[in-house]
């Protein structure tokens, strides 16, 4: 009986979490719309290529979707290398892109992904299929991190870990993602969001977490 009750509570939480995501994403887009309009103009005027950057990511239960960001790199940044992680002071990043990454404004369009149901505000960060295929075989538990939850804009791993540099970083983040999935509730989500806002206010790059990989 206790197990059934816990499952019911979890399902109710996930349903209300979706509603909270819709409200939060809508308010976020309204609040950030003036700033988003300015940054869109800056991206257009300072480098050739599209304003928005769309990239295929792996979502809940393996469903593929296109994540939306403001473009921070030169077009065809991976044409010669294929999929690779971004590095500190990456030369592929445009001058305006560096500003957007430092202020995290390039992440704002992901609120559209939240409204579409591809993502949540809080959850494990989504990764590209190229890396997922590799990590599933190399990182224990990686295949469980998005079985029943939507990927998030921020998450437990985002606020405690920096950008991925090697498999050790990925393993550490997966452990934190699985901890979040086991313990996720309103209180945990609120704490993660509050800490993310503190990181953003302080200009910390750690709040980007795995998102900094692109």
* Helices assigned H by DSSP within the chain: 2-46, 95-103, 110-116, 129-138, 156-160, 167-183, 186-202
Q: Where are the domains of the chain?
A: 12-213
Q: Is the pLDDT of residue 29 over 50?
A: yes
Q: Which residue has the higher pLDDT, 21 or 199?
A: 21
Is 64:44 a contact under the CB 8 Å cutoff? no
Q: Is the pLDDT of residue 206 over 50?
A: no
User: Each residue of 83-113: pLDDT tens digit?
Assistant: 666 666 677 889 999 999 888 899 999 999 9
Across the range 55-65, mean pLDDT stands at 95
Angle at 170 between CA 164 and CA 176, to 5 degrees: 115
Query: What pLDDT shows up at residue 209?
Result: 39
Query: What pLDDT shows up at residue 85?
Result: 63
Q: Is the pLDDT of residue 44 over 80?
A: yes
Query: What pLDDT shows up at residue 139?
Result: 93
User: Each residue of 173-182: pLDDT tens digit?
Assistant: 999 999 999 9
Across the range 149-178, mean pLDDT stands at 89
Cα–chain center distance at 113? 10
Query: What pLDDT shows up at residue 80?
Result: 60
pLDDT bucket at 194, cuts 50 / 70 / 90: very high
Across the range 128-152, mean pLDDT stands at 92
Contacts by 41-44 with C-beta closer than 8 Å and gap 24+?
Answer: 42/96, 43/70, 43/71, 43/94, 43/96, 43/97, 43/100
């Amino acid at each position: 009986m206790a197990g059934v009750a816990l499952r019911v509570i979890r399902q109710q939480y996930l349903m209300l979490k979706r509603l909270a995501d819709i409200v939060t994403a809508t308010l976020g887009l309204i609040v950030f719309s003036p700033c988003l309009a300015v940054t869109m103009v800056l991206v257009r005027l300072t480098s050739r290529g599209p304003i928005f950057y769309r990239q295929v990511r792996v979502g809940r239960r393996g469903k593929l979707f296109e994540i939306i960001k403001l473009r921070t790199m030169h077009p065809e940044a991976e044409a010669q290398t294929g999929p690779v992680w971004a590095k500190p002071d990456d030369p592929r990043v445009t001058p305006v892109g560096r500003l957007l990454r430092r202020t995290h404004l390039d992440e704002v369009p992901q609120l559209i992904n939240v409204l579409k149901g591809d993502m949540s505000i809080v959850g494990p960060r989504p990764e590209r299929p190229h890396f997922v295929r590799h990590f599933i075989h190399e990182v224990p538990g990686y295949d469980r991190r998005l079985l029943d939850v939507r990927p998030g804009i921020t998450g437990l791993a985002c606020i405690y870990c920096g950008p991925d540099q090697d498999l050790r970083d990925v393993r550490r983040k997966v452990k934190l993602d699985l901890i979040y999935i086991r313990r996720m509730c309103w209180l945990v989500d609120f704490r993660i969001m509050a800490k993310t806002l503190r990181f953003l206010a302080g200009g910390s790059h750690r709040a980007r977490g795995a998102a900094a990989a692109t």
